[in-house]
Structure formats: C-alpha cells, structure tokens
Amino acid sequence: MGYNGNIVNKTAKLLMVQGTSSSVGKSMLVTALCHIFHQDGWKVAPFKSQNMALNSFVTRDGGEIGRSQATQAEAAGVEPTVDMNPILLKPEADSRSQVVVLGKPWITVPAGEYYRYTSKLLKTVKTSLHRLQSEYDIVVIEGAGGPAEVNLKRHEITNMRIARYTNCPVLLVGDIERGGVFASIVGTLTLLTRTEKKLVRGFVINKFRGDINILKPGLEFLEKRTKRPVLGVLPYIQKLFLPEEDSLREDIDNQDTVRDKLDIVVIALPRISNATDFEPLHQEPDVNLRYVQHPSELRNPDVIILPGTKSTMADLAFIRNNGLDKAITLQAQQRTAIIGVCGGFQMLGQRILDPAHVESSQDSVEGLALLQINTAFFPEKTTRQVEATVVAEKGILTAAKGQRVTGYEIHMGQSRGDEIRPAFMVNTGGTAYPDGAISEDGRIAGTYLHGLFDNYEFRRAFLDNLRREKGFSSLARQALLTRQQQFDKLADLVRNNLDMEKIYTISGLR
C-alpha cells in the first residue's frame, strides 16, 4: 500500500487524532481507540512523532519515551518501543530542553534553536513510523498542540506535516469545557491549507457536561458550516486514573484535610517530572493529596514528598528562595515522614556535585542535609526497568519490608554515602545493588525508583503504617479497578458516544 509515494508498506492503516489546542483530550482518545481496535482483534500501535513531556517511561530495552505513549501501548496490548515516540523533549532550566532521540539523550538546546534540527529529526520520525507500519495492522497517531499554530507550522513535525506525508485521515478534537469549542474548530479548519482541510474527516467534541439536546443546534451548525460530520460528543470523564501526559492532574484539589484521611503533600517543583508517580495515591480513599509551592501551604502533613525534577539544582534553588527548605527541615525535626524520589532524593542529601556541568554552571550546591548521601552528576544517563525488594529496617517503610516491587530508573546522577542505609535492594538481570537511603530513625527515605506507588501492596502497607501511627485502623482492601478494567471502561464510554462505524470506515479498516 502506498502513501503519496513516500511509504510503501504491506497493509498497515493510519488514523490521526489532532486537537484544536493542547489538553483537549487527544491522548485519552488515542488510548481509547488503541484499546477498541485491540478488543476488536486488530494489531494496533500508538505513535507520536514528537512529545514534550516530563512524565516519561523506560522501555524494556532502556529507552525513554513519553508516558502517554507507554499507556497507549498498554491499552493496545503491545510492548512499548522507542519507535512509538521517537523524539522526546524534556524541558530543563533556562528555557532549554534535552532532546531524546530513539530513547537516548542526543543534545540539549535552547528552545529557540530546536527548530534548526527538525528537518533532520523528521527523517528519524519517518523511519520509526515506517517500522511500525510494517509490523501492525493500524497505527493510531497523536498530534501535539494544535495544527493551526501558524508561528510553528514551518518547522512542526507532529501534526499536518505527518498527515500530509502519509495522506492520513485526521479526527479533530475540541474541548467544550474551556468554552468556544465551535469557534476553535471552525477557526482551526480555516487556517489549514486546502490539502490539509481534505485530510480532516470529522470532529469529536470532548468534556461535555449537561443535556446533549441543548448542544444539538451547535452540532448542526458545525456540520453545515464545515461539511464534515461530528463523530460524537464525549462526556466529561471522572475517576479514570490513567497517567497524565504532562504536568499535574487537573482534578487534584488542594482541599483541607478530611478526618481519618492521610494528608500527603507533594512539593510542586517548577520542573517536576514523572508526577504520575503519585497518581496512585490520589485514587486511595483515605488520602488527601495536595501539591504545594509555598511554606504557608504546607501546614502539618503526614507525609512530604519531594518528587523527581528535570533540573535538580535549579529546583533546589527554588525551594531555598521561597523558604520551603526551612519548613521541610522543621517538619523533619517534628518527625514528619519525608520521601524523596529521584531528584527529590538527591535534594535530601548533603551535597550535589556537577563538575562536568551536566545540569548547570555551578560546580556544586548544598543539599537539605536530611540524608547522609552525596550526589554527583555524570553525562551518562541511567534508564532501566527494575525489580527491587524493600530492605528498610525501621520507620515508614518497615511494614513493607520484604515486599518485591517493580519500577524504573531515569537519572543522570549517582548517590553515595559512607554509612548509607539502603531503602531497597535492586535485583535486575542478575545484578544486585542497593537503592536509595533511609535515615537512622526511619522517618526520611529516598529512592531512584519511579512507579513505586503503582505497586498496590507496597502502597497499602505504607499507608496503613501511617494510619496506625495516627491511631486510625487499617483500611480494608478496596476493589480498585485494574489498569485493564480502566481501559475497558474508557473504551465502553467511547464506543457508546462515538460513531465507531464511521471511524472504522475513515481508518480504512472497513
């Protein structure tokens, strides 16, 4: 099968989901479509040529891709690979981004210079897409931002550049929650070229609340004005705990602590990465999860979490500049539980060294001195999936001692200490080594393991231990939806609200 004479392949079909802007629901819809096609017996893969995200995932062979593409691959029932997200941009301090190509760091460039490289990177994108097409029945492609961003159009390699190259049908998604959905759809279509307009085969309205009958005149207007079908209206979805593509969940409140709930605070670092590490805590009924940036918001939590960050030294400076360092130290003196993950773990140590200036122009900075470790940055990046055992002898992790957990590492630094007490023992691929550290009293712990709270038994052991300290009873195990059940629920919702027969026809699978 040929596409504009550029890709010659067997039978793979393509379907692309673009949006009128960021955060309209593209990732969610691609996830749902991947699962629907998988349920219907097709071999399906997700694809996003370029992703800007600090929530990332490590593939089985140690490549780094966007978290959303890993989730979409899971929904499709296939192993995530670097071809599903060949270009990953990870913003750093000073308006720079690390460019990850096929899962490995390539260069770090100022934001304004990145577009000098897109024509070269486009070749990598095409090669990855070609490989996927040779292996799957259908590839569901996700765009980025919106296709009508005229200031970026000349250099973009994620939206209409890919659609034109492959002659791929496009579904355009608009978000009615933010208002102006009809104007955004019509305006987007107006700013496309004649060729690009022909590729847009239908619209999806997302995040609708209320009576659909009130919306019908607008839908009729949209179809008459654009001569394209509205393929469906998706309701606002709540209580589906699938990983966010980037930043923090929109539905996490900073509400006041509720009686018999554990108050867990995550420090909302400016360059927070892998915030998805803490989404499993959000779904626990006895947890009030808050994100804070100022000491006045801290109050008296049960747990403080220092999350991962793309720029440890810059975010440590942020903590110092607004007084959070003193507030966290005071909480530590009051025996509040404190956990650092990846960059947050590095901050808890005595000192951070950067002699090769991997992260900044500084040679070193003082840490918060809550753990007896020092961290040194090296140009080589560690990315691997791991299995580990909890080995902490006392304190906040002892209720989980002996449990096996799975996770993944993504970090530039290595942390060492003369009298370090490890929190975990990693045993992966026949190699065993200690991970993390825990304080002498067991109240402060750090680890390089991302995805730790995805392990249900570990999560509940940790939370129930805190509950017992507060005089609460342990919580009965909840019948939480598995990830596959969440995918099924999402797929059912989309099937019930979109015209899947038309989508099948548009994709060429019918």
Q: Of 104, 126, 161, which is closest to residue 47 (Cα–Cα)?
A: 126
Residues whose CB is less than 8 angstroms from the CB of residue 180 and which lie 6 or more positions away in sequence, other chains included: none
Q: Is 306 exposed, middle or buried (0-12, 13-18, 19+ CB in 10 A)?
A: buried
Q: Which residue type does 429 have?
A: G
Share of the chain above pLDDT 70, in %: 93
The domain spanning residue 39 has which CATH number?
Answer: 3.40.50.300
With bands split at pLDDT 50, 70 and 90, how would you rate the model's confidence at 3? Answer: very low
pLDDT digits (tens, 9 = 90+) for 50-79: 998 888 899 999 999 999 999 999 999 999
Domain of residue 427, CATH code: 3.40.50.880
pLDDT of residue 242: 65
Mean pLDDT of 149-177: 94
Return the bridge partners of 415, or none.
375
346 and 220 inside one domain: no
DSSP state of 280: H
> Do 342 and 400 belong together in one domain?
yes
Same domain, 159 and 57: yes
The active-site residue out of 35, 38, 411, 450 is 450
Q: d(Cα 59, Cα 131) in Å, to the nearest integer? A: 17
Residue 393: band (very low, low, confident or very high) from pLDDT cuts 50, 70, 90: confident
Q: In this predicted model, what pLDDT tens digit does every residue of 460-476 receive, in sequence order?
A: 999 999 999 998 887 76
Kindly write down the DSSP assignment for every residue of 123-166, as one continuous string. HHHHHHHHHHHHH-SEEEEE--S-TT-TTTTTT--SSHHHHHHH
On the question of pLDDT at 372 being above 70, the answer is yes
Which range among 112-121, 124-133, 145-154 has the greatest average pLDDT? 124-133
- Which is the catalytic residue, given 34, 168, 342, 411? 342
Q: Is residue 499 part of a domain?
A: yes
The domain tally of the chain equals 2
Mean pLDDT of the region 323-336: 96
Q: Are residues 221 and 317 in the same domain?
A: no
In the structure, what pLDDT confidence band is assigned to residue 251 with cuts at 50, 70 and 90?
very low
pTM of the model: 0.84
Question: Could you list the residue range(s) of the whole structural domain that residue 272 is in?
Answer: 262-470
**In a shared domain, residues 351 and 398:** yes
What is the per-residue pLDDT across 406-459, written as a single tens digit (0 to 9) for each? 999 999 888 988 878 999 999 887 789 999 999 999 999 999 999 999 999 999
Q: What is the β-pairing status of strands 13-19 and 138-142? A: parallel
Specify whether 342 is catalytic: yes
pLDDT computed for residue 4 by the predictor: 40
At 6 the pLDDT is 45
54/167 same-domain check: yes
Structural tokens at position 137: 């029945």
What does the block give as tokens for 398? 């002892």
Task: Kindly give, in sequence order, each residue whose CB lies less than 8 Å from that of residue 337, ignoring residues fewer than 6 positions away.
Answer: 302, 303, 304, 396, 443, 444, 466
Per-residue pLDDT band at 240 (split at 50, 70, 90):
low
Q: Within 13 A of 422's CA, how many CA atoms are on the CB side?
A: 15
Task: Report whether pLDDT(349) > 90.
Answer: yes
Active-site residue flag, 450: yes
Q: Let me know if residue 160 belongs to a domain.
A: yes
409 in the same domain as 376 = yes
